[in-house]
A and B are shown apart, each in its own frame.
Chain A
């Protein structure tokens, strides 16, 4: 079928919803073991022509599936679980959100001041590394610092990632708790002062540094070449504290090439440190720079509020045609946004598969049409990730709901 273009969307979406969208798993996820939960969930649709319908909710999987096939939304957003089915919102007096996953949104555009390879909506394998680091750092912090277990990581379809924390207790978080977690995981990006943490480095940031370090030189100085240009040097110096800015510039300009410049800067800084001629609060400048460039740049407003909507996994991004697929954070290094299946690719794969099986069936007379369509495509891998995630949640729910033996 060839390259995806936006014009194809209208033509391909019906097929996508009828044969590829994993409606069943999606329903299982948002039910959390109880169909009553699904009914209370706000889902909103964006239809072709930017028609936005909020506060939709569905009685059952069939109902949801039918509506999907009927409306063929170009985007689905997931909102909160409410005290009443959102579709009856106007008929209910005290309508309000009660639960929601804790969500994180990281978008490449927030890295525009530290990436030189692309800008705006473009991404490439070089700058994707910012996302790789964001995912690793955040996933580790959520697990170790907060003890969260059920994270769903999703490619946002173009140039970012989403993370859904789905633990039972987390869904019940108040806005205050959400805010606490979000801001704990947020390091302000603009300007040097905000990132200063004096002579001590918080354990959580230390862990982030251990994750970032192995990537840092290659990524920032070879690939992004941030010290390669005059402009780059100037930008870099803004983050160096005034007292040593002039000498730092001299040091940087004494050699050629980004990597070499970083090396001489580090040497120079370490010598100063050893001589103890750096004020205590600037002691950790090198670590601060690493975090400044590579620490996850969260859009924390998305995380802070219980009623913030976020795009659902398995949507198709209308501009790129790519599916918002879940991925495994443990193997995020191997994730390549360039190879994320597009709508056109998936349709080609189905057709090809159908073609082959038809020929085979003709040959040996076996009916294989029971095979789920997505299993014929490169969507399979991400659906497996999603299923694993669901199984973990369901296992825990089962254990919790097991009746405790009665005592006499």
Chain B
């Protein structure tokens, strides 16, 4: 597919050799759209991966630590690691352009393509554009700050940004002014200064952080990131508007569909808040809900719990957060947990060993953070050990096991086969959507991104119908 929205589709295949010319640098201004062919599933995977990167940034920026400071960075890197976003970790942390490996090139390609997919998904409204732009800027800044040595100047040259440090004579001449007018700590003789049009650094000018003369701002090298990211912001703004205008030319329903759901996924619908109007979820109804409204992953965990009165840690976490997300109150959840677990163990042991996690998930102890229920991507990419029941069944289970399970749930044989074939090909979330269709007997309009979204679409829809 052609993300450049060119009217004529190019059929050119990417050959690894071409990557060198296409991606001379880790950092990319994304001025040229990708023109290679990719499969629908790769399309989806890349989009979701980048979305997760952006979400990590959004989350990190809400933390009470200095943006782009060490703590902030460490948090981002840890999260990227945890969520297994290897390509992005690679491309953010590698220092620029020297001696790239095949893996580097693959990462650059993923970066490039995923940016353009999300650009399409996020160009549709002012609000979406703003969110996307802010996150992409954070990503860009982080990456620019990680560039080392000559790769900064290389990046500038590749992108035709003619910024060069002023020479020593000029610096000596402006010595006093630069010392007086430049904010931040620096040693004049160790710092390069770039002379840039003042409108390239409106924020530095506005706050009187730089020396300004005849319409030019003299920015120290450590502020170059402000300048470059400001330029990036402008081009990105324009490009988003451009994409928005060209959007109607994209006539592939599958892609449109996918893009449409991607941006729904953003609004932080991370289901971390216990929704007040959903709080009529009763413990007594959970069995029925599991049968009618749970996605397969959660239904399986629920049934495991009911059968064994025990769950392993990974399962417990995944399910508790899900329960919180569907609106089960903390007290009710604790009671449910106690009822089940104490069928095998005594009350005392439960209190000591298992009640903690419930409190933890609801943010009652520990860091008091409000944990969000896991999204599909998180569940799918989580590692699942032998004998563990969590994770995404479409990915974890053998296709015969999956097929049998689905049939045992009352699906017709051909439907069960269809779903397990999808899963086989790696389209887990699409398979999940089909399961929705065949159990709910209605069309699945949105790609399943989140077990709680699944529940909402199934149960919420019924509630809404009843209401009407």
Contact = CB atoms under 8 A, between A and B. Distances in A.
Interface of A: 144-148, 173-174, 176-177, 179-181, 183-184, 197, 200-206
Given A146-B212, A177-B199, 20 more contacts: A144-B213, A145-B214, A145-B215, A146-B214, A146-B215, A147-B215, A174-B199, A176-B199, A176-B202, A177-B202, A179-B202, A180-B205, A181-B198, A181-B205, A184-B212, A200-B179, A200-B180, A202-B208, A202-B211, A203-B177
5 contacts: A145-B212, A147-B215, A180-B199, A183-B206, A203-B181
Contacts of B211: 202-203
A201 B208 contact: no
B212 A179 contact: no
Given A146-B198, A146-B214, A146-B215, A202 B180 contact: yes
B71 to A, nearest CB: 25
B207 interface: yes
Nearest to B205: A180
B221 interface: no
Interface residues of B, number: 17
Contacts of A146: 198, 212, 214-215
A184 B199 contact: no
A184 B205 CA distance: 6
Contact of A145 (B179, B202, B213): B213
B203 interface: yes
B206 A184 contact: yes
A168 to B, nearest CB: 13
A51 B206 CA distance: 38
Q: What secondary structure prevails in chain B residues at the interface with A?
A: helix
A33 B87 CA distance: 57
Nearest to A170: B215
B183 to A, nearest CB: 8
A147 B206 contact: no
Nearest to A169: B215
Contacts of A176: 199, 202
B182 to A, nearest CB: 8
Contacts of B181: 200, 202-204
Nearest to A206: B180
A357 to B, nearest CB: 50
A204 B212 CA distance: 8
Contacts of A174: 199
Most buried by A among B177, B206, B207, B214: B206
A184 B213 CA distance: 12
A183 B201 CA distance: 13
Nearest to A205: B208
B180 A180 contact: no
B460 to A, nearest CB: 39
Most buried by B among A148, A204, A205: A204
Interface in B135-168: none
Nearest to B230: A176
A77 B347 CA distance: 80
Interface in B178-212: 179-181, 198-199, 202-203, 205-208, 211-212
Contacts of A197: 208
Contacts of B198: 146, 177, 180-181
Given A180-B206, A202-B208, A147 B180 contact: no
A209 to B, nearest CB: 12
A305 B203 CA distance: 16
Most buried by B among A176, A180, A205, A206: A180
A202 B212 CA distance: 10
Given A202-B208, A203-B177, A203-B180, A180 B202 contact: yes
Most buried by B among A148, A176, A200, A203: A203
Nearest to B216: A147
Contacts of B203: 180
A180 B199 CA distance: 8
A144 B214 contact: yes
Contacts of B208: 184, 197, 202, 204-205
Given A144-B213, A146-B198, A146-B212, A179 B206 contact: yes
Contacts of A202: 180-181, 208, 211
Give 7 nearest A-B pairs by CB, closest first: A180-B202, A147-B214, A147-B215, A183-B206, A180-B205, A180-B206, A203-B177
A314 B180 CA distance: 41
Contacts of A177: 198-199, 202
Most buried by A among B177, B205, B207: B205
A25 B127 CA distance: 46
Most buried by A among B177, B180, B207, B214: B180
Nearest to A167: B215
A350 B198 CA distance: 49
A395 to B, nearest CB: 20
Contacts of A147: 213-215
Nearest to B177: A203
A206 B177 CA distance: 10
A219 to B, nearest CB: 25
B223 to A, nearest CB: 14
Nearest to B179: A200
A139 to B, nearest CB: 15
Contacts of B179: 200
Most buried by A among B212, B213, B214: B212
B107 to A, nearest CB: 34
